[in-house]
Structure 1
Amino acid sequence: MTELFADLPADVPARLRARLVTDAEREGILDVAYRTVDTPVGSLLLAATPAGLLRIVYSTTGHDAALADLAERVSPRILHAPARLDAVVRQLDEYFTGRRRTFDVPLDLRLATGFRRAVLSHLADIGYGRTESYAEVAAAAGSPRAVRAVGTACATNPVPVVLPCHRVVRSDGTSGGYVGGAAAKQALLTLEAA
């Protein structure tokens, strides 16, 4: 098979992929665009719908598994379409270089419902460089006794970093768990403390 395409320019697969993305967007059949980006906390998979940023996935979770989950839960019409996520990548770069404290990209939070959605709504209110305990977040989300449910909401946050669940810590001040791992959580808290 390789010999068949040996005379084609090296950029043909990239051009064909770009044409596929353009055609899919024009026809309205690109439901989820994705790309990966290298950051100080590892490789992140970014996925967006026309409504906004849908997922940020750490490599520890598994990018392929996340894409398969999106294909099942949202739509099988998923394409590697990096340009749709340029604004998110720019804001993440600004965040990681200390030039951004909040994100202002549209979000598609369809993957979170009920109390989890209430927790996510509150996360944006936890200011840069600040932390809140799981108990404080539970109270702010309207269910003061739902401390464990806050932990679950943070662990299933579809857009970590952008909705800063890393700012939620234990009541004794220790960091607690994080979807990207303990090292990623500490790196984000250290970045914001600088």
Structure 2
Amino acid sequence: MILQTTLATPLGLFTLAADEAGLCALLLPAEKATPKPTTREVAANSHPLLAEAANQLLAYLSGRLLVFDLPLSIHGTPFQQQVWQELLRIPYGQTRTYGELAERIGGRNKARAVGGAAHANPLAIVIPCHRLVGGGGKLTGFGGGLPMKQALLNLEHNTLNATRKNA
């Protein structure tokens, strides 16, 4: 059984879903959840993991959380899993190009495949595919739309700048 909830944030309504193993989906406001017979809508505070995921997402969006600490239940091909693990290694406030990430997992010729795996990422923000950019830093594809991607990158940049000024 997958439990799902919606969360109102300053950037719109997000959808969070969890199964018995961990958080399995975080959908951005522009993304639509596909209803499944095994999915049940619940209040976030009625499920400990969904409540914690909601708290961490709100903390991230307010600049108070730099790294998520949640049990994840992600399902994909071995290649997708490899890309998602590399996405988790991109530090907060930094970006990598598709080519750079592809090079880390076997060669620049895999850049398109990296893009496909990033697009299939079920846990946007938690697995930070918004930190993946095109050559020269150009913003390219993002499930939540390019304005959302830019907003997330700006949030991280501004949070790091504020932290440095206060240090």
**TM bucket by the smaller chain?**
0.7 to 0.9
Q: CA RMSD in A?
A: 1.2
- Aligned match of 2:16: 46
2:96 maps to a residue whose letter is: E
Matching of residue 121 in structure 1 with residue 82 in structure 2: no
Off by >3 Å, runs of 4+ in structure 1:
none
Which stretches in structure 1 are left out of the alignment for 5+ residues? 1-30
Deviation at 1:120, TM superposition (A): 0.4
1:116 maps to a residue whose letter is: Q
Which is bigger in relative contact order (C-alpha 8 A, separation at least 6)?
A: 2
Residue 135 of structure 2 aligns to a residue whose secondary structure is coil
Distance in 2 (alpha carbons) for counterparts of 1:183 and 1:33:
29
TM-score by length of 2: 0.87
- Aligned match of 1:167: 131
- Aligned match of 1:180: 144
- Aligned match of 1:90: 55
- Aligned match of 1:103: 68
Counterpart of 2:102 (choices 138, 159, 180) is 138
Give per-residue Cα distances to partners, 1:92-134, cap 9 Å, x unaligned.
0110111100101011012x21211110011110000000000
Residue 142 of structure 1 aligns to a residue whose secondary structure is coil
Number of residue pairs the alignment of both structures matches: 154
Residue 98 of structure 1 aligns to a residue whose secondary structure is coil
- Give percent identity, aligned residues only: 37
1:191 maps to a residue whose letter is: L
Which stretches in structure 2 are left out of the alignment for 5+ residues? 159-167
TM-score by length of 1: 0.76
Matching of residue 151 in structure 1 with residue 151 in structure 2: no
CA contact (8 A) 1:133 1:168 kept: yes
